[in-house]
Structure 1
Amino acid sequence: MTGYEKSPDYGNPPGNSGLGIIIVMAAVVVVLAALIFA
Structure 2
Amino acid sequence: YSSNINISVFHSADEFEIVRQQRTQFALVFARISEEF
| TM-score between both structures, scaled by the size of structure 2 | 0.64
CA distance in 1, matches of 2:27, 2:15: 18
- The alignment status of 1:30 with 2:4, answered yes or no, reads no
Listed as ranges, the gaps of 5+ residues in structure 2 are 1-5, 32-37
How many residue pairs end up in the alignment? 26
- Which protein shows a greater Rg? 2
Listed as ranges, the gaps of 5+ residues in structure 1 are 1-12
CA distance in 1, matches of 2:15, 2:8: 13
Percent pairwise identity: 15
- Of Structure 1 and Structure 2, which has the larger fraction of its residues in helix? 2
Which structure has more relative contact order (CA 8 Å, sep 6+)? It is 1
| TM-score between both structures, scaled by the size of structure 1 | 0.62
